[in-house]
Amino acid sequence: MNFDNYIQQAKASSFGLKKLNFGLSRMIPFNRPHGIKLLEIGDDEVKTIIPYKRKNLNHIKGIHACGLATAAEFASGFLLITKLGNQDYRLIMESIDVKFHYQAKKDVVATFEANDSWTDEHIRNPLKTEEKVYVRCEIVLHDIEGNHVATAYTNWQIKEWSKVKTKV
């Protein structure tokens, strides 16, 4: 499977985005029942969406905190892996911190931005001399009416696959 080809198609057309979301729903089965999907993909930005639907609601009929956190994790992780390449680097989320500002009573969009100079400064260049790096990503979440629902901070451990040690 040429993952980069699917991403380029998703950037170019809505049909390409639908195909990518379909494939990702099989690759990431946890997101499927919640309906978390890629909304937009750019070279330096990814937007994911979590719908306001019954399966995603908490006891006070807002989108559950864990659903919002998952949408944020998906946005930052997806952009990092598309910028770095899944063949070369291994990402593991080390921790997540979410600050909630407004109750989510509509669909919520999580947005993460990172340009090439940020990626070089925080990931690629440090990995030339270090075995692994930790990067902190800020993801903003707004409902479809523009209300700032939350700000999430995902902390990712990143290392080259060649430096990953696993027990056999």
Query: Domain ranges in the chain?
Result: 3-163
Q: What are the pLDDT digits (tens) for 30-76?
A: 888 899 999 999 999 999 999 999 999 999 999 999 999 999 999 99
Q: What residues have CB less than 8 Å from 75, skipping those under 6 apart? A: 46, 47, 48, 110, 111, 112, 139
Note the CATH architecture for domain 3-163.
Roll (3.10)
Coil, helix or strand for 38?
A: strand
- More confident position, 2 or 93: 93
